[in-house]
């Protein structure tokens, strides 16, 4: 019985250790690993950026609130580091190493990504100025050539509607859902048909 109890305790201890290791894997680092390592910081124009995953490094570390990351590597490590966080681009976009040994620092600069919405309004084959585009960020208005431009963050969703007094448009609106790339839209404008005149009442003699 004592022998079985001892084995059970050792198995339980190993299981707990594995759970702790799994919980810590990929967590934001609290300091720079000793010896062979890669560490650095990810920043934007406004300061540190948290939540960036450094893919390719052992353990796939993630930046903490201070924008810093760190990972221990084996001596002579070779591989590529690719920072990733949805809605951001990075400079450099990736870094490759061959036979890396010792402590190495690698910083990245993150830039928020934007999607450009470019459009045109035409009437009788010519650009139409003064058309307001409701629903687009910045509420753009078409210029003298009938063109308009707006910028939105990735994931933007909305319905945009052109409007100008005395005109109808085809299509009457355009729907965007979870925008992820630059897009171009085109609207055709038509003069509203004049309402028919009401018949005049005959005058009584």
C-alpha torsion 97→100→104→106, nearest 10: 10
- Mean pLDDT, residues 104-119: 95
For residue 142, give the CATH number of its domain.
Answer: 2.60.40.1120
Please, which residues have CB within 8 angstroms of residue 51's CB and are 6 or more apart in sequence?
A: 62, 63, 85
Question: In this structure, is the dihedral angle defined by the CA atoms of residues 26, 31, 34 and 39, taken in order, positive or negative?
Answer: positive
pLDDT at residue number 35: 85
Q: What is the pLDDT of residues 31-78, one digit of tens each?
A: 555 589 999 999 999 999 999 999 999 999 999 999 999 999 999 999
Per-residue pLDDT band for 4 (boundaries 50, 70, 90) equals very low
pLDDT at residue number 71: 97
Looking at the predicted structure, is the pLDDT value of residue 181 above 60? yes
- Mean pLDDT, residues 82-87: 93
Q: What is the pLDDT of residues 22-36, one digit of tens each?
A: 343 344 445 555 589
The backbone region for 35, taken as left when phi is positive above 0, alpha when psi lies in -120 to 50, beta otherwise, is: left
Looking at the predicted structure, is the pLDDT value of residue 6 above 80? no
Residue at which a domain ends, from 112, 142, 172: 112
pLDDT at residue number 200: 64
Is residue 8 classed as helix, strand or coil in its secondary structure? helix
Do 139 and 107 have their domain in common? no
Q: DSSP string spanning 124-145? A: TTEE----EEETSTT--B--TT
pLDDT at residue number 8: 43
In a domain, 147, yes or no: yes
CA–CA dist 120, 169 (Å, integer): 12
Q: Can you list the alpha helix ranges (DSSP code H) found in the chain? A: 2-24
Instruction: Name beta bridge partners: 174.
Output: 160
In a domain, 200, yes or no: no
Total tally of structural domains belonging to the chain = 2
**Are the C-beta atoms of residues 111 and 119 closer than 8 Å to each other?**
no
Query: How far from the centroid of its chain's Cα atoms is residue 109's Cα?
Result: 15
Instruction: Give me the domain span that covers residue 150.
Output: 115-191
Do 80 and 106 have their domain in common? yes
Do 97 and 133 have their domain in common? no
Residue at which a domain ends, from 96, 112, 128: 112
CA–CA dist 73, 57 (Å, integer): 8
Looking at the predicted structure, is the pLDDT value of residue 136 above 90? yes
Looking at the predicted structure, is the pLDDT value of residue 167 above 90? yes
- Mean pLDDT, residues 108-133: 96
- Mean pLDDT, residues 183-195: 89
Do 50 and 75 have their domain in common? yes
Predicted TM-score of the model (pTM): 0.57
Question: In this structure, is the dihedral angle defined by the CA atoms of residues 116, 178, 180 and 44, taken in order, positive or negative?
Answer: positive
| Mean pLDDT, the chain, whole residue set | 85
Question: In this structure, is the dihedral angle defined by the CA atoms of residues 59, 36, 104 and 97, taken in order, positive or negative?
Answer: negative
Do 131 and 91 have their domain in common? no
In a domain, 44, yes or no: yes
Looking at the predicted structure, is the pLDDT value of residue 17 above 90? no
Looking at the predicted structure, is the pLDDT value of residue 12 above 80? no
CA–CA dist 53, 63 (Å, integer): 7
Do 138 and 81 have their domain in common? no
């Amino acid at each position: 019985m004592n022998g079985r109890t001892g084995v059970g305790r050792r198995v339980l201890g190993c299981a707990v250790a594995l759970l702790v290791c799994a919980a810590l894997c990929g967590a934001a680092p609290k300091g720079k690993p000793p010896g062979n390592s890669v560490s650095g910081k990810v920043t934007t124009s406004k300061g540190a950026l948290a939540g960036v995953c450094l893919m390719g490094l052992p353990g796939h570390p993630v930046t903490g609130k201070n924008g810093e990351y760190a990972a221990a590597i084996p001596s002579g490590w070779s591989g590529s580091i690719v920072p990733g966080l949805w809605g951001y681009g990075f400079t450099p976009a990736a870094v490759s190493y061959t036979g890396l040994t010792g402590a190495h620092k690698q910083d990245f600069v993150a830039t928020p990504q934007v999607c450009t919405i470019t459009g045109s309004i035409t009437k009788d084959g010519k650009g139409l100025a003064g058309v307001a585009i409701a629903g687009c960020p910045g509420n753009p208005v078409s210029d003298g050539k009938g063109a308009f431009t707006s910028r939105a963050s990735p994931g933007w969703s909305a319905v945009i509607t052109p409007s100008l007094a005395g005109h109808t448009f085809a299509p009457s609106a355009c729907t965007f859902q979870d925008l992820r790339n630059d897009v171009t839209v085109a609207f055709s404008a038509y003069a509203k048909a004049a309402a028919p005149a009401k018949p005049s009442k005959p005058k009584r003699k």
